[in-house]
Structure formats: C-alpha cells, structure tokens
A and B are shown apart, each in its own frame.
Chain A
Amino acid sequence: MATIEAAYDRLRDRIRPLGDQLVLVALWLFFLVFGTWAILTQTDAFAVGVVTGSILALGAIGLTLIYGVLKFAHFAHGDSMMLAGYVAFFALTGTVVGERTDTQPLPWSLSDLPGATDSILDFSFGYGLLIAMAVAAVVMALVFTGLDRLVYRPLRRRGSGIVIFAMASLGIAIAMRSLMLIFWASSPRFYKPGPRHTTDLPFDVRVVTDQFFIFFAAILLALLIYLLLFRTKLGKAMRAFADNPDLAQVSGINTDQIVTWTWIIGGALVAVAGVLLALQSQLKPELGFVLLLPLFAATILGGIGSPQGAFVGGMIIGISQEVAVTFGFISPGYKFSVAFVILIFILLLRPRGLFGAKT
C-alpha cells in the first residue's frame, strides 16, 4: 500500500506542474485567439476596449503594488480613483455644490489661467487639465500617506489580519464616496461638457480624439513605473520587500520608506487613472465601488504584485468588457460581469495569475 501511495504522490508531484503549465498555456492561447478575433471582427469595440483597458491597467498597477508590498486588498482603490477625478475637477473648475444642489464656482481656479482651457491639438482640454492632474496626483499621494500614518500603520503595528485591513479600507472607501457626494453631489460631472472631436483611423475605426491622449498617457506612465521598479534602487527594494519582507528588512531595506513610497506611487497612479477615466466617461461618485471588480480582476489575472501582469490584466479586462457588450454576448447592464467571470475562472484555475510568482 505504502509503495502505491508513494508512487501516487510522485506521479502527482510530476503532473501538477505540468497541469499548471497547461492551464497557463491554455489561458494565453484563449486570450490571444479572442484578441485576434476581436481585432478582426469587432475593431471599433476593440479600440474602445484598449482605451478602457489602459485606464484599468493604471489603476491595477497601483493596486497590485499596494497588494504586493502591504499584503492587503485595498478596497478603497476604486473610490480613490473617483475622488482623484473630483479633485482634478475642483482644481480645474473650482466648482463645489453650494447650500442646496446649486453649484458654486470659487473665485479662482486653474481655468482662470490665461489659455488654460484652450484646446491642445484636437483634444477637448487645455494645459489646465494637465496641471489639475498633477494637483490630483499630489493630493492623492498625500491622502494615501496620511491614511497610512493614521490607520494602516497602527493596524500593522498591532499585527492585524488581512480582514481587518480590508474592513478599514472599505470604511475609508465609504467615507471617500460620501465626501464626493457632500462636495459635488450625485449628478454626473465633466471636465468639459459637450461634443468632442473624433478622429478616423484606418479600417473604418472612429475614435474620440481624447482617447489617443488617454492611451498614450497611460502607456507613458506605465513605462515610467516599469523603469522605476526595474531600473532604480528604490524599485529593486520595493520588489524585494514585496517578495519577502523579512529578508528585505534584514538586508537593510528601510521598511517605513518602502511603504511610504508605495503609497506615493499608488496615489499618483490612482490620480492619473481617475482623471483619465473621467475624461473617457464621466465623474459620478457611485462609479467608484463598481470599478473595484474590474480592478481586482485585472490585478489577480495578472498576478498579485506583478506590475506587468496588472498592465496585461487591465488590457484583457477592458477589451473583453467592451467586445462582449458590443458583440451582444450580454446586455450593457451586465458589462461588469465579464470581469467577474474572468475573475472567478482565474481564482479557480490559476489563483496566482498569468505573471504571478510561485508561492
């Protein structure tokens, strides 16, 4: 009996990595075939999906860094994106809701700078929005580091479990959403209302010109993050810390510094992602929580702690969502469920994701 069991164990140990590889290959094949099919038959939706995907990718990179370094699911990520969009909106237009639901612009805002709202090229915005984006990035980095000092660090010191962190971040998410409702009410907001310029691309694809900006800004930022993580000492330290906190600490890496930098980078990413999202669709406080599913799906699909994975994951989720709705697999009301189904399949088939390290 014992020899049979041992043989079974040996066989299982031999088969398991093979099965793992097979699942990985199958997943990649599936996504590649699906992507090619989508490009060929659903080119319009694919283009929109790439834009949505690049926004999700930015959000997911921030989420995966926080997940990897701090080891908890940051449930306030979607609402942070929305909040960042509103901060930029506030900096740009100076608008807040007054006593009732009337809007009241402040006496001065970025749009009062000379030429700040004149369109750059064919985009719907001027350089004012770029400054507003920078303002949002700084504000969100401060908010994140402040929250870490106030909330997450005491919890860390106490050695709380991941559930407590998740609850705390959920409470913060609710508080953030309420703040948006308090200051800007629930009606949708736009950086600049009205029709936008469109551009014709080859193969009969027409996109809103702003979407070029969204795509290239996202790619540029993702590249910068890649360089930061893989070409600087700080990035190396962050990756080391994410990989093995104890080992990193005994190697002389300053833990507090790594945590602070993670929040700063995460805040900046959240801010840019939020502004781009608002540029692509709209600002609405309720959208934040719904964003969590695609963001987490992208993060887990890519593998927690892997920025390249988060980028690819975000793209896959974004494209699948748009293509599935346009092709008529599902009605628009179920758009989010694409992310959810992918999430469930990944969790069951390959919980460490496409790029995740073996644990």
Chain B
Amino acid sequence: MKLPAVMSADGARPRLRWEQLLTPLTFLAITAALVLMPAERSGWNFDRTISFLTVFATFVAIYALLTLGLNVQWGYTGVFNFGVMAFFLVGANVAAIIAKPPATTEFVEYVGGFGDKLDFIPVLGSEQWLPFLVGVLGAAVFCGVLAFLLSIPALRLREDYLAIATIGIAELLRRVTIEERGLVNGTRGLPGIPRPLSDGIPTQWGRLWDEPDEYKFVILLIASVVLILVFIAVERGIRSPWGRVLRALREDELATAASGKNVFGFKSQGFVLGAMIIGVGGAIYAYANSAISPDTFTHFFGTFIFWAMLMVGGSGNNKGAIMGAYVVWGLWTITLQLQGYTPAHPGPLGFAIPDAVQSRIFFIRDFLLGALIVVVLLLRPQGLVPEERRVSIWVERHARRLRRRGPAPAEQAGSPSD
C-alpha cells in the first residue's frame, strides 16, 4: 500500500498539526451536535435527549457491525465487495423469518416462522431469547454459505469485475425478495418482528424493565455486546498468523502464493467471515428495527453507506470502522434534526432552513455523502483512524515488555502504516 504523502517512510518528517487534530475535532463536533440539537429542540428535556441518543447509539452499533464485516472483506482481505446489501438483506430477512411466528393472514406471506416453537428451554422463558439466538446464528450461517458459494466463481475474478459481479448479485437478491411474494412478503416487507427479551426478565422484585420505555436500553446493550464480541474476535483473528496471511494477500497475491499459501482458500475465508459478520449485523438490525422493508435494501443504503463509513473511518482498522459508522451516521442523523428548524419554528439565533432546502434535505444529504467520499479519497485516503502497523500479538507483547524496561527502541517510533 502506498504511503500517504504526509507520512514519509522513515517517519522523520513530522506530521502536520491539523492532521493530528482532525479526528478528535470531528468526533467532538459531531458529538456536540448530537447532544445539543435534540436537547435544544426538546426544551432541554433530559429524558428525551437520552432517549434520542440511545436509539442513535443502537444503530451506530449495528452499522459498525456491518462496517466491521466489510472491513474484514476489504480492509484486511482486499476483496472488493460492492454488494454489501446482498448479505445485509439476507441476514435481516433470515433472522426475521426465524424469529417470527408462522404467517397466518393472507396479506402476510413468508416462509419459516419458528418463533413459537423455540420455547423448550426453561430458562428465563426461552421464547424470549432462543428464537433470536437461533435467528442471529441462522443469519450468520446463511450468509456464510451464500458467501462461500459465491466465492467459488467470484473470487477468481479481477477486482473490478468482482465489483460488478457483486453489484449484480445484490441486485438479483433484492429483486428475488420483491418478486417472490411468498418468500418474505414481497414489496410490503416484514412488519412486527418480535424483539429479544422484550417482556423483561422476571425476578423476585418484578420484571426488570417495562416495554417500551426502558426496552431501548436493552436493545442497545444487546447490539453493543455483539459489537464488542465481534470486535474482539476480529482483532484477535487479524493479529494471528491467519490474519497476517490475509493482509499479505491484500498487499501482494503473487508473493503470498509464492510463499506457499493457498490464495483462494484464504481469500474465501476472509470473504465468508466478513459476510457472516454483515449477516449478524443485518439480524440485529431486523430485531432493533422490529420491521424490515425492501426500501431499506437499496444500493445506496445497503452498500454505499457502509463503504462511506469504512472509507471515512479508515479501512484496515477496526476502530476506524466503528469511528466511521459513528461519524457518517452522526452526520446522517444531524441532517434529520436540522429539518426541525423551519422558518415557522426557527432554532436559536433565528436559525432556520428555507422551504426549498427542507423539501429536499434527504437528497442534499445523499449528495453530500457522495461528495464526502470523493473528498476523503482525495484528501485523506487513510481515513480518520489510519491503519496501524501490526505484526503479531507476541511481538506487541514483547515490545510492551521492552518499553516497560527502558526507553523505546528507535524502530518503535517508525511509520504507523505498512
């Protein structure tokens, strides 16, 4: 990978000052806007602000999961997947039809529906968590198998051909969900997906939470726990010898093949793992949102936005992927808040958005996101949190031990990128 211009190979030239401030300033600006805008609009109502932020954080965690999956595919393995939507869609739909009870009315048709059968484990009322566990695992397995089948022909293609092929696959799956009405209810989507642990955990002091006021914290907790687990798993995996092969593949396939690695095998493993993570993200999305609609799974929302998150955050860095999800979804949500400042109800200092902008604020937001990715590619291709130099956990552990013993050796201060 080529070094960005500001970072010389020997690390001698100091980085520019604004570059160091860019990431914290972006983070602070977005956080400030996210806290202050709903607070101001709700008349400094604490509960409503917290409620807004909780829902926001839940979706950041879900999108961060999806971006992590894409990061495994592109950031670490170098597989150019332009069809994130395919796995997002499959994960969400599989999870939904596993957890839902069977279809009863003629207006809602879908296959599956095992939710009411999965209540045979007498712990905590298993209909409250078992269908969802099975749903998430089912989404991961389905996406994994799909990715494996796709990888057999697709991963032998050139990068740009692979991008076109994955767009085609995503479009095909999207059309299948819309055209085959009996599969997942066609254009109407799946409403009323049950939510995990929604009845509260019964204890001797009564139920631990009441729907729906306190439930939003539960779903945030679930999404965050899954995100943290996946994050740790991916971090460990990427620092292992297996992860090193993936990154070697990304940099130079021929050299990796020459050192005796099965190029196709490793690439396919990275692709499948990423797809499974995206599937899990889709599953949690379906449960958090409680309804899915084919309108969600477009090339823009299902694929492009996750690429934007990864590119803005910094591909090849899991923290970057999460940061990117936060920043992009933060900008996305802030524009929605801006919509509240109409000329009739101006905000502080008479701040208002004219009608002509109001009526097309969503399109303007899309435009800015498209422009943002171009600007990021031009001005900061490494993203907000650039990839770290990473060899293996053993080397890092050894380096830490050395550092504790005395001043850092010279090569520790070397370039942070490879």
Interface residues, chain A, with chain B CB atoms under 8 Å away: 72-73, 75, 97-101, 151, 154-155, 158-164, 166-168, 170-179, 181-182, 185, 289-290, 292-293, 296, 300, 331, 333-334, 336-337, 340, 343-344, 347-348, 351
Stretch from B116-124, B162-170, B233-241, B281-289 that touches the partner: B162-170
Q: Are B163 and A166 in contact (CB under 8 A)?
A: yes
Q: Which residues of B contact A171 (CB under 8 A)?
A: 308, 370-374, 377
Q: Are B164 and A333 in contact (CB under 8 A)?
A: no
The 12 sampled A-B contact pairs (Cβ below 8 Å) are A155-B378, A166-B82, A170-B82, A175-B370, A175-B374, A178-B370, A179-B367, A182-B367, A290-B171, A293-B168, A300-B161, A336-B171
State whether the Cβ of B304 lies closer than 8 Å to any Cβ in chain A: yes
Contact flag A344-B168 (CB < 8 Å), given A167-B373, A179-B367, A334-B179: yes
Min Cβ gap B261→A in Å is 21
State whether the Cβ of B262 lies closer than 8 Å to any Cβ in chain A: no
Interface residues, chain B, with chain A CB atoms under 8 Å away: 2, 5, 80, 82, 153, 157-161, 163-165, 167-168, 171-172, 175, 178-179, 299-300, 304, 307-308, 311, 355-356, 359-360, 363-364, 366-367, 369-374, 377-378, 381
Docked Cα-Cα span, A181 to B370, in Å, equals 14
Q: Are A174 and B366 in contact (CB under 8 A)?
A: yes
Q: Are A182 and B374 in contact (CB under 8 A)?
A: no
Q: Which residues of A contact B307 (CB under 8 A)?
A: 167, 170
Q: Which residue of the partner chain B has the closest CB to A147?
A: B374
Contact of B164 among A179, A296, A334 (CB under 8 A): A296
Q: Are B159 and A163 in contact (CB under 8 A)?
A: yes
Docked Cα-Cα span, A204 to B260, in Å, equals 64
Q: Which residues of B contact A174 (CB under 8 A)?
A: 300, 304, 366-367, 369-370, 373
Q: Are B370 and A347 in contact (CB under 8 A)?
A: no
Q: Which residue of the partner chain A has the closest CB to B80?
A: A163
Min Cβ gap B81→A in Å is 11
Q: Which residues of A contact B366 (CB under 8 A)?
A: 174-175, 177-178, 181
Q: Are B161 and A340 in contact (CB under 8 A)?
A: no
Q: Which residues of B contact A340 (CB under 8 A)?
A: 168, 171-172
Contact flag A151-B374 (CB < 8 Å), given A170-B307, A174-B366, A348-B153: yes
Docked Cα-Cα span, A290 to B167, in Å, equals 10
Q: Which residues of B contact A155 (CB under 8 A)?
A: 377-378
Docked Cα-Cα span, A296 to B168, in Å, equals 10
Q: Are A166 and B161 in contact (CB under 8 A)?
A: no
Min Cβ gap A5→B in Å is 19
Q: Which residue of the partner chain B has the closest CB to A161?
A: B159
Q: Which residue of the partner chain A has the closest CB to B364?
A: A182
Q: Which residues of B contact A177 (CB under 8 A)?
A: 300, 366, 370
Q: Are A333 and B179 in contact (CB under 8 A)?
A: yes
Q: Are A99 and B356 in contact (CB under 8 A)?
A: yes
Majority-rule SS of A interface residues? helix
Min Cβ gap B58→A in Å is 26
Taking A101-B359, A334-B175 as known contacts, 11 extra A-B pairs with beta carbons closer than 8 A to each other, sorted by chain A number, are A160-B377, A170-B373, A171-B370, A172-B370, A175-B371, A182-B360, A300-B161, A334-B179, A336-B171, A337-B168, A347-B161
Docked Cα-Cα span, A95 to B179, in Å, equals 35
Q: Which residue of the partner chain B has the closest CB to A181?
A: B363
Q: Which residues of B contact A336 (CB under 8 A)?
A: 171, 175
Q: Which residues of A contact B299 (CB under 8 A)?
A: 289
Q: Are A333 and B364 in contact (CB under 8 A)?
A: no
Docked Cα-Cα span, A331 to B175, in Å, equals 11
Q: Which residues of B contact A75 (CB under 8 A)?
A: 163
Q: Which residues of A contact B370 (CB under 8 A)?
A: 171-178
Q: Are B311 and A167 in contact (CB under 8 A)?
A: yes
Docked Cα-Cα span, A210 to B299, in Å, equals 32
Q: Which residues of B contact A159 (CB under 8 A)?
A: 2
Docked Cα-Cα span, A172 to B80, in Å, equals 18
Min Cβ gap B15→A in Å is 18
Q: Which residue of the partner chain A has the closest CB to B74?
A: A163
Q: Which residues of B contact A292 (CB under 8 A)?
A: 164, 167
Q: Which residues of A contact B165 (CB under 8 A)?
A: 343-344, 347
Q: Which residues of A contact B355 (CB under 8 A)?
A: 99-100
Q: Are A172 and B153 in contact (CB under 8 A)?
A: no
Q: Which residues of B contact A99 (CB under 8 A)?
A: 355-356, 359
Docked Cα-Cα span, A60 to B366, in Å, equals 27
Contact flag A168-B374 (CB < 8 Å), given A174-B300, A293-B168, A333-B178: yes
Contact flag A293-B179 (CB < 8 Å), given A167-B377, A177-B366: no
Contact of A164 among B300, B360, B381 (CB under 8 A): B381
Q: Which residues of B contact A167 (CB under 8 A)?
A: 307, 311, 373, 377
**Nearest 5 pairs of A and B residues by beta carbon:** A174-B370, A175-B370, A178-B367, A171-B373, A178-B366
Q: Are B367 and A175 in contact (CB under 8 A)?
A: yes
Docked Cα-Cα span, A314 to B171, in Å, equals 20
Contact flag A72-B171 (CB < 8 Å), given A164-B381, A182-B367: no
Q: Are B300 and A181 in contact (CB under 8 A)?
A: no
Q: Which residues of B contact A73 (CB under 8 A)?
A: 160, 163-164
Min Cβ gap A98→B in Å is 7
Q: Which residues of A contact B300 (CB under 8 A)?
A: 174, 177
Q: Are A178 and B364 in contact (CB under 8 A)?
A: yes
Q: Are A347 and B157 in contact (CB under 8 A)?
A: yes
Min Cβ gap B315→A in Å is 10
Docked Cα-Cα span, A158 to B178, in Å, equals 43
Docked Cα-Cα span, A164 to B80, in Å, equals 10
Q: Which residues of B contact A343 (CB under 8 A)?
A: 164-165, 168
Contact of A162 among B153, B159, B372, B378 (CB under 8 A): B159
Q: Are A154 and B374 in contact (CB under 8 A)?
A: no
Q: Which residues of A contact B168 (CB under 8 A)?
A: 293, 337, 340, 343-344
Docked Cα-Cα span, A164 to B311, in Å, equals 10
Q: Which residue of the partner chain B has the closest CB to A293?
A: B168
**Most chain B beta-carbon neighbours within 10 Å: one of A167, A168, A289:** A167
Min Cβ gap A253→B in Å is 25
Min Cβ gap A287→B in Å is 12
Min Cβ gap B247→A in Å is 16
Docked Cα-Cα span, A290 to B170, in Å, equals 11
Q: Which residues of A contact B373 (CB under 8 A)?
A: 167-168, 170-171, 174
Q: Are B359 and A293 in contact (CB under 8 A)?
A: no
Min Cβ gap A346→B in Å is 10
